[in-house]
Structure 1
Amino acid sequence: MDDASKKLDSAAIENLRTYLRIPSVYPNIDYEPCLKFLKIQADEIGLIYNVYRPVKNNPHVVLTWTGKEPTLGSIILNSHMDVVPVFEDKWSHKPFDADIDEKGDIYARGIQDTKALGIQYLEAIRRLKQSGYQPKRTVHVTFVSDEETGGLEGMKLFVKTPEFKQLNASFALDEGVLSENNIVTAYYGEKRSWKFEVHCAGQPGHGSLLLDNTAGEKVQYLLNKFYEFRAAEKKKIQELQYTDHITTLNLTMIRGGVQANVIPPEFTIVIDTRVPVEKFSDFEVQVNQWCKEAGTGVTIETIVKDDNAPNTSVDETNIFWTAFKSAIDGMNMTLKTHIHPANTDGRYLRGAGIPTIGYSASTNTKIRAHDNDEYLNADEFVSGIYRFVKIIPALANA
């Protein structure tokens, strides 16, 4: 590698560290420092900079590289600016200092999810532009908000705006999951997220009495059903060795009670589920049946229920998939396809009719997204840039 390339790669690492030092963490995120940083990047690289605000405090940044044939459907390269909270006392490094250790590992909240991804897009484009390459299709690099709380006031609204539709997107890349080895995964769809509260009303009274029809008994019945189902799904994972067709279910909150010697009139439990698209209708019927069986006064209140978004075709009928796969194959990397185990903004893009693949260009990295000591090695970050140098032209010329 020549000195110019080394200098460019060192600058890319520093750009990443600068972005990571912006604490765009919930709650009450101030996105303006991210916007200022991205405006500098757009000016340096030579990209058109726009900001859209379907919700006042949730901006979406679009950096545009105009193609030679701009009437063709464009390519979106998506990541999000927001990051999840930290438990700072559990970190070995300050989570927003972007420290680098002696092995070259950079520690920072958001480096895996998804700030490194956004910078890899931009640094790949920087190198492509410096080489004199111009894409056939226009490429939009999008940095969106509100992904980590479900995107309900983020991408879900943005895809419905006239400004988004004017991007004329035909295909998108969004976040995937980092690989812990040399095998990379393309995610062509997602499970439907259904988060709901179950309100269990019952007979209140003195804590010394064995009353009938109490809220607690109804909670017990439901939790037994939920955890029996959960255990069966865990057993399927051991048999199948992957989670594409597995429903995940977790109890995340319990509310109720006034004091230790009073049977309360209601308990509420909160359940988080991620359900394969093809199983959703049957699962919803089953949950409602369990609630009916639990007794009178049991009601469900939905917190989040995803719309049904189509999966992206991963065969020769999809020219963008063919182009993406050819680029990966050309780098002698092993590629697998799966349903994403969690939820991303990709579901809203697919729901808007845009075929979308979730992909992370970083490999050989322990997955620590949302975890303490989230990290990425600097060399692996740079390697990801050069993978996108191959992938972006393949997509833009499809």
Structure 2
Amino acid sequence: MTEISKTDQCVNFLKLLANEIGLGHNVYYPASKLKPTVVLSLIGSDPSLPSILLNSHMDVVPVFEEFWTHKPFDADIDEEGKIFARGSQDMKCCGMQYLGAIRKLKRNNVDLKRSIHITFVPDEEIFGPDGMKAFVNSEDFKALNVGFLLDEGIASETNVFKAFYGERTCWQIVFRVHGQPGHGSLLLQDTAGESMHILLKKIYDFRKSQEKLLEDNPDLELGNVTSINVTKMSGGKQRNVLPAFIEITVDIRMALDVDLNEFEAMITDWTKACKRKVDIEFPTKEPYCAPTKVDETNIYWTGIKQALDEMKLEVKPLVFVAGTDAAYIRAKGIPAIGFSPMNNTPVLLHDHDEFLQADVYLKGIDIYENILSKICNV
């Protein structure tokens, strides 16, 4: 007998939960038979209304187990109530909190006019090619009639929760800087190293300008400026041979007020300053995506704010610094908010010893319960 895959185990677990809670369930394969998207559904009393989508992703990033003090996939809980597990913050907590909140709403016979669909998608940690990115372009997604999305946010180290109404635009660029090859003992001109030095100075001067914006204005958050970082570097064949080219990969997250055409022109000017030819490749070049409004014109945001106000919880709208599946939903013109109910919690997503306090997790179920009771009836 063939051993069941981890993905199939996850799908079967979600089906089991759906049957236990009393939810409908469907499994779709928008791009690959190896990458299922699971949709659990609670049909509202007026299914003609646009539905609420609650998104979670099944995948997590890898671990360096030798740096963990607990087994990363055992969900160990210590004497302080900390649940240690990969995905405890990013974002298996949200998926299970959604279901916990719906279980309570059903138990209390709360009338929900709008239908709720809970998606568990693959590939979020690798930009969702066979997950949400593919699913939003399918007829199966269209049939859900989604009017609003709740997706993951990030922990807050203070008492104030964070709600994300937009994301910076992600570009990842490979620069291949050419130069004069030759013997490593010579002082040849126009080497790849010299040109790379020029390019790196341009990159890090720009990075410094963004750091200064943050330093000079305490009201700005990281999501309000543009980040740029060199993430990979390669080149050369042998220690005593000057390379014909050197490559670097740069990760850029552009603020919402950046003109993308002007930014690309600036990058082109950087390469023109180099002594020799520079080739540019864009493995990732996302288009601008308009943020979701967080004012009285957005009935869903009004419902979220009302729910949190009733619980005397403070929330701060922000631009997310990285990327989530919510971007694919916003690109369809559907409003989306990223919100993970984790306050007074260190940010540990992708980190060693990722954990979530048990009482914070349980409180999050109550928060989602109140939010859903509001936004499903606006």
Which interval holds the TM-score relative to the shorter structure? Answer: over 0.9
Q: Aligned match of 1:97 in 74, 77, 95?
A: 74
State the partner residue of 2:250. Answer: 271
State the partner residue of 2:115. Answer: 138
The offset of 1:245, in angstroms, is 2.0
SS at match of 1:179: coil
State the partner residue of 2:7. Answer: 31
State the partner residue of 2:362. Answer: 382
**Identity across the alignment (%):** 47
In the aligned structure 2, how far is the partner of 1:47 from the partner of 1:39?
9
Q: Which runs of 5+ in 2 are unaligned?
A: none
State the partner residue of 1:63. Answer: 40
Return 97-106 or 295-304, whichever deviates more: 295-304
The offset of 1:41, in angstroms, is 0.6
SS at match of 2:224: coil
Superposition pairs of residues 93-242 of structure 1, within 5 angstroms:
93-241=70-218, 242=221
The offset of 1:212, in angstroms, is 1.7
The offset of 1:153, in angstroms, is 2.8
Q: Aligned match of 1:302 in 271, 278, 282?
A: 282
Q: Aligned match of 1:329 in 306, 309, 312?
A: 309
State the partner residue of 2:348. Answer: 368
The offset of 1:152, in angstroms, is 2.7
State the partner residue of 2:262. Answer: 282
Q: Does 1:344 align with 2:324?
A: yes
Counterpart of 1:244 in structure 2: which amino acid? G
Q: Which runs of 5+ in 1 are unaligned?
A: 1-28
In the aligned structure 1, how far is the partner of 2:196 from the partner of 2:127?
27
Contact 2:192/2:276 (8 A) holds in 1: no
In the aligned structure 2, how far is the partner of 1:82 from the partner of 1:285?
36
State the partner residue of 1:252. Answer: 231
Contact 2:156/2:344 (8 A) holds in 1: yes
Q: Aligned match of 2:62 in 76, 85, 91?
A: 85
For this pair of structures, how many residues does the alignment match?
A: 370
The offset of 1:251, in angstroms, is 0.5
State the partner residue of 1:3. Answer: none
In the aligned structure 2, how far is the partner of 1:83 from the partner of 1:352?
25
Return 64-73 or 293-302, whichever deviates more: 293-302
In the aligned structure 2, how far is the partner of 1:345 from the partner of 1:295?
40
In the aligned structure 2, how far is the partner of 1:240 from the partner of 1:348?
31
The offset of 1:278, in angstroms, is 2.1
The offset of 1:349, in angstroms, is 0.7
What is the CA deviation profile of residues 89-143 of structure 1, one whole-angstrom value per residue up to 9, with x for unaligned ones?
1111111111100011000001100000100000100011011123100100111
Give the TM-score taking structure 1 as reference length: 0.91
What is the CA deviation profile of residues 254-280 of structure 1, one whole-angstrom value per residue up to 9, with x for unaligned ones?
011111000111110000010013213
SS at match of 1:222: helix
Give the TM-score taking structure 2 as reference length: 0.96
Give the aligned CA root-mean-square deviation in angstroms. 1.2
Q: Which runs of 4+ in 1 moved over 3 A?
A: none
Contact 2:123/2:131 (8 A) holds in 1: yes
